[in-house]
Each structure stands twice: as C-alpha cells, then as structure tokens.
Amino acid sequence: MTASKRDVIRAQRTKKKRQRRMRTILAVGGVIVVIVIIIILLTNYTIFIPTGPIVQITPISRPEVNGKAMGDPNAKVKVLVFEDFQCPICKQFTDSVEPQLDSSTYITSGQVYYEFMQYPFIDDNSLTKESHQSANASMCALEQGKFWEYHDIIFANQGTENGGAFTNKRLVAFAESLGLDLTKFNQCFNANKYSAEIEAEYQEGVSMGVTGTPSIFVNGKEVTPGFAPTWDQLKSAIDAALAGGG
C-alpha cells in the first residue's frame, strides 16, 4: 500500500471518528436540553394552568399588629405559632382559636406577644413547593405591611395539599386582590428574598421539637403537643404563664 493510500485511509478514519464524536456530543446535548426544558416546565407549570376563582376576604382589625406579630415584644407571655399554610388543621386553628385571642384583652393589655412562625414542610417531597412559595409570598406581603391580610387570603383559598391551590400564579393573584404593589411583590417573590428568614424560623421550630403543624408554644412550652389546642386550652396555658406557672 502506497503512502498516499495510507494517508487517505487515515484521513477517512479520522473523519469518521470526528463524526461519531459529534453525534455523541449532539445526542448528549439533546438529552440535556430536554432535561432542562422539563425542569423549567415543572418549575413554572403555572404558566399553563388558569388562576381559577379566588375567595376574597374582608380585612379584619387585629390588635397591636407588628409585622407578623401582635402585641408588645416585652410582654410577660410570648406565644409562638408554627404553621404551614397548606396545613388544614392550621386553617381550623386560624378560623376558630386565633379570633378569640384577638378579641380578648391579652394583647391590648400588653400581657401577650403573639407571633406567627413559618414552618413549611408539607411540600418536602413535592416539586411545586407550595408550602415554601406561600411562605415566601406571605413575607413579601409583610414587606408591604400586609402580612395578616395575606395570611387570611391564603387560608381562605386553601385546597388539598400540593394540589395547585398555591401555584405561583395564584399567589401573585392574591397579592393583586389585596392591592399590593405588584412590581415590588414580584421582585421580592421571584427572588425568594426571605428564604433565609423562613429557613431560620423553620430551624428554630426544629430545635424546639416541632414535627408538625400547628405547634403552639407559650413561653417555650408546647401546648397540647401533637394537637391543635382549643381556645380554652390556650387560654389556660396563657393564664398559667401569667400567674408564673409556665
């Protein structure tokens, strides 16, 4: 075989290797593109889902509101309430027990400081992260002084867990229905601006022994562990703490 023929064969082999390499690169690149598209679609799946009807709320007056807390931070009794916005028992607590505390004199008299604590966990195995995103949205509403109104509209529109009640689109629609500045809200929401604060509150709950929601603590002691307290049970715990027994 002459040198020229060997050069031709060598060139053909080199060309085939390059072609195989290019096909491999294109195939791998195609798979990566498909994976990225799937991730984007799953992350932003609300683009394809209608907002749906929204239950409107009538804002209610709460005593001594300070962000997502009520009352004097120096009060003798501190009540911490760890909740996940997707938790149905949290909604029951919010609907039945919290209003009785609001209408009592504990907060206005400076005896009780009541604070909502973020504990998103129901979406731990979900791609849509409705618990985390609703917590994120509520903090962006807090930034505009509307935490409790947003808190109320979230619970008013609660659905099945991870069932699409708190898609990103609906969370933004809640903000719009409350008259929030949507430019500021969206900037905050899309940046997950308060993720560190939410995680810090979650970890505080973990350190206090929280494993589910709602978990209510009066001066660091959990009321009815594993169960949401009734108003009578919460009131008894507050009275005991005021009397120096807790």
pLDDT tens, residue by residue, 67-101? 999 999 999 999 999 999 999 999 999 999 999 99
Beta bridge partners of 80: 115, 217
Q: What pLDDT shows up at residue 27? A: 67
Assess whether pLDDT exceeds 60 at residue 164. yes
Give CA 200 to chain center in angstroms.
Answer: 13
Token pair for 119: 């504990």
Mean pLDDT of 146-159: 98
Place of tokens 């900037």: 187
Give me the helix-helix angle, 147-156 and 168-177, nearest 10°.
Answer: 120
- What pLDDT score was predicted for residue 133? 98
Fill in the amino acid letter for 53: P
Indicate whether 41 pLDDT > 90. no
CB 219 within 8 A of CB 78: yes
Rounded percentage of the chain residues whose pLDDT exceeds 70: 83
Collapsing DSSP to helix, strand or coil, 44 comes out as coil
User: Which residue in 74, 57, 82, 23 sits closest to 149, CA to CA?
Assistant: 57
| Confidence at residue 245, expressed as pLDDT on a 0 to 100 scale | 66
Q: What does the alpha-carbon distance between residue 171 and residue 53 come to, in Å, rounded to a whole number?
A: 12
- Cβ-Cβ contacts under 8 Å for 75 (sequence gap 6 or more): 110, 111, 112, 113
- Low-confidence winner among 34-43, 61-70, 198-207 (lowest mean pLDDT): 34-43
Token pair listed for 71 = 């009352």
Q: Which residue has the higher pLDDT, 37 or 228?
A: 228
Query: DSSP H helical segments within the chain, as ranges?
Result: 3-43, 88-96, 98-103, 130-143, 147-156, 168-177, 182-190, 195-207, 231-242
Q: What is the mean pLDDT of the chain?
A: 90
Three-state secondary-structure class, residue 116: strand
Burial (Cβ within 10 Å: 0-12, 13-18, ≥19) of residue 19:
exposed
- Residue 5 has a pLDDT of 64
Confidence of residue 194 (pLDDT cuts 50, 70, 90): very high
